[in-house]
Chain A
Amino acid sequence: MRRIFIQCAAAGLALTAITGVTAQTKGGGQTVRIAFMDPLSGPFAAVGQNIQRHFQLAAEIVNKKELAGPGVKFEIVPFDNKGSPQESLTLLRSLIDQKIQYVTQGNGSHVAIPLADAIAKHNERNPGQAIVFLNYAAVDPDLTNSKCSFWHFRFDANTDMKMEAITEYMKGRPEIKSVYLLNQNYSHGQQVTRVAKELLGRKRPDIKIVGEDLHPLGQVRDFSPYIAKVRASGADTVITGNWGTDLTLLIRAARDAGLNVNFYTYYAGVIGTPTAMGAAGAELVRQVSYWHPNIEKYPAEDLYTEFKKKHNEEWYTLASYTSMTMLAEAIKRAKSAEPLRVAYTMEGLKMPSIMGEIEMRATDHQLQQPLFVSVWTKAGGEVKHDSEKTGYGFKTVRAIPTYVASQPTSCTMQRPPKP
């Protein structure tokens, strides 16, 4: 008797467990699920987790204001790809299984390029099960040039656009005489080195490139040997595309060694770097970005303060908001969340945004937007917002309008038949 009871109890428990695991939630209305695929563990975990929260805020706003149309809700589904291309492809399969049709990723062109390729292959082999790739931060120019794809949309300014902005600013600074190029050894870092040489050669041929280095991505803990090299080369400026810990450690090492050179960076605003810079970076570190908290007239200030209050972290990735609002707008205009229709609607889409009018250029799916070169300086006055409670913030030193930053493209896009 007791044994039968135990057997029944065990069976019941097992049954509940199985049904519980396979149970699905169903919500009312239409939910568009967007997979957020980035490193949520490993050396770049802080960046990935912070930007996941960015996307969640953007999705909340889209839902609250019904920007995608009545009853259409966005849901962000996080996936931890640990910064690895292979893991991302495995997760892609899981994504396809869960019938998620939109994926956004940005931390690492070394992931974005294989991912875009895999998505294109999948979409080709399985028409009707298409997936759209919203790239919010992988800036390798190839993705909108030689490796462009109809299903890939880039919302960040690419490496060439940002270097155009930096070199425009450097054109007007005669005190810069020698430059050291220090970058991460993968497609992005290599592109930064390449395009810096090209554009500097064109705009300021008098500047000497006194040294260059490519170091492994996310692996160097001790940058002091590199700093020693920079010092020995006599450079007065360092151009680096480093991000995350690679930038924070570099700046920290420079500070420790008392090296007072100008840093021109792409990612000084990313989480962790303001803290590493602190007072020591004042007037020395500059960045190029499509947004910072102290742009004239403080656009997106409400988003910035709301996010900072809620999560005690900086809000700096405007692309999260831009991509979600543009996706919402495309869905609204297409009156459908079906990827093929939305993709055709989104290419060439022009809409007003926080930064003025933006356009998703149809030829290469690269978003056209203005850029800003800013310097890290003491808070106060027009520098209303300081970053990460350091008492220092960013101040615009040069605003680059959209048409200046814009770059030509070699993309010849293969398009699927229009629906």
Chain B
Amino acid sequence: MTFDFFLVQLLNGISYGLLLFMLASGLTLIFSMMGVLNFAHASFYMIGAYFAYQISRWVGFWPALILAPLAVGVLGAVVERFGLRRVHKWGHVPELLFTFGLSYIIVELVQVIWGRAAVPYSVPAELDGPIAWLQRLGLTFPKYRAFMMAVAVLMLVSTWLLLTRTRIGLVIQASLTHPQQVEALGHNVPRVLMGVFGAGCALAGLAGVIGGNAFVTEPGMAGAVGAIVFVVIVFGGMGSLSGAFIASLLLGLVDAFGKTSDASIGGLLRWFGTTVDPQTFGYAVWKLTLAQVAPVLPFLLLVLILIFRPKGLMGTRED
């Protein structure tokens, strides 16, 4: 493994991790505020990508970058106001199931409007191609990935600033732990929650705008990324933004390095001198390379952390 291969994979992993973080942060926010695990979160990611595709066809990519997340946020707020709020009184499980059913509906609606095949939502020309000055150093890394990383970091910083330095952020944080007191102080807590849900969905939409053209924009994209996002937030600790950050970076790196590694237990044993051949018992397990095992790794991590530390890495609540 050469150094520049390692560096490129590192950057690949970090950029994918940051995309995951954009998705996970919205979900974490919603979960901390409302205790609702939003199963439709990946569907809002998909809607963000499709909205961006449509808007960029009308007015171009850069306006879409602002407009599409806003549209998704509004949609999320509407869903909360007319759907989730009604289910709230039945408890947490029906809320979860409501979002679960919503994900089915959203996939169908997207297919009706934009068809079942992938749509040609592509990277804008000015961001296409490798970074010139890195290439002169011998490293090929696409401009768009760097852009993705920049947007994700910007979004993290601004969210953190919003939550900790502004008044509305204080109100939101207070509503998390003492909703009745905040309401007693005269703040419209249901409206705050609606806003938070909308903001969380807007974050997912932003992730969709950025990720939809790097990866494929198609009706199956929600399913592809949905499970990983849950791994991120559970691993990082439900309700913890910094935990989600660490977890998403970790998972991004595991994905990038795992997929390309040809290391296997058999290889390790061979290094120690023991030969492993098709006759050995359990050869099917020993010969598996890390690249083949890569899809399982995130879920393995999820299961392990839930067994040994159900709070997650930096979580504050278990439920």
Contact = CB atoms under 8 A, between A and B. Distances in A.
Direct A–B contact present (CB less than 8 angstroms): yes
Interface of A: 40-43, 45-46, 49, 213-214, 216, 219, 221-222, 224-226, 228-229, 231-232, 245, 248-249, 256-259, 272, 275
A49 B116 contact: yes
B83 interface: no
Contacts of B59: none
A309 B135 CA distance: 43
Nearest to B294: A225
Interface string B85-123: 000000000000000000000000001000111101000
Nearest to B119: A46
A118 B5 CA distance: 47
B63 interface: no
B224 A225 contact: no
User: What interface size band does chain B fall in?
Assistant: 35 or more
Contacts of A225: 9, 12, 255-256, 259-260
11 contacts: A41-B219, A42-B219, A45-B115, A49-B116, A222-B16, A225-B255, A225-B256, A225-B259, A225-B260, A228-B5, A256-B128
B80 interface: no
Nearest to B5: A232
Nearest to A271: B117
A221 B215 contact: yes
Contacts of A222: 12, 16, 214-215
A216 B295 CA distance: 9
A277 to B, nearest CB: 13
B129 interface: yes
A248 B292 CA distance: 22
B12 A245 contact: no
B9 A228 contact: yes
Contacts of B260: 225-226, 228-229
B45 to A, nearest CB: 13
Nearest to B9: A228
Nearest to B117: A46
Given A257-B130, A257-B140, A275 B120 contact: yes
A253 B218 CA distance: 17
A221 B216 contact: yes
Given A222-B215, A225-B255, A228-B5, 18 more contacts: A41-B116, A41-B219, A42-B116, A46-B118, A216-B295, A219-B295, A221-B215, A221-B216, A222-B214, A225-B9, A226-B259, A228-B12, A228-B260, A231-B5, A245-B118, A245-B216, A257-B130, A272-B117
A204 B285 CA distance: 34
A155 B216 CA distance: 31
B2 interface: yes
A269 to B, nearest CB: 17
A40, A225, A228, A231: most-surrounded residue (chain B CB, <10 A): A225
Nearest to A47: B117
Interface in B236-292: 255-256, 259-260, 291-292
Nearest to B259: A225
A232 B2 contact: yes
Given A258-B130, A258-B135, A228 B8 contact: yes
A40 B291 contact: no
Contacts of A214: 292
Contacts of A224: 12, 142
Nearest to A219: B224
B140 A221 contact: no
Contacts of B219: 41-42, 45
A257 B295 CA distance: 23
Contacts of A216: 295
B1 interface: yes
Interface string B72-89: 000000000000000000
B230 interface: no
Interface string B225-240: 0000000000000000
A222 B294 CA distance: 13
Contacts of B8: 228
A186 to B, nearest CB: 13
B140 A258 contact: yes
Contacts of B292: 214
Contacts of A257: 130, 140, 142
A258 B140 CA distance: 7
B1, B12, B116: most-surrounded residue (chain A CB, <10 A): B116
B115, B117, B144: most-surrounded residue (chain A CB, <10 A): B117
Nearest to A46: B117
B65 interface: no
Contacts of A226: 259-260
A256 B142 contact: yes
A259 B141 CA distance: 11
B221 interface: yes
B116 A45 contact: yes
Contact of B220 (A43, A232, A275): A43
Nearest to B215: A221
Contacts of A259: 140
Contacts of B221: 221
A96 B300 CA distance: 43
Nearest to B220: A43
Interface in B1-54: 1-2, 5, 8-9, 12, 16
Contacts of B5: 228, 231-232
Contacts of B256: 225
A232 to B, nearest CB: 5
Contacts of B291: 213
Contact of A42 (B9, B144, B220): B220
Nearest to B258: A225
A45, A214, A231, A259: most-surrounded residue (chain B CB, <10 A): A45
Contacts of A41: 111, 116, 219
A282 B12 CA distance: 26
B117 A45 contact: yes
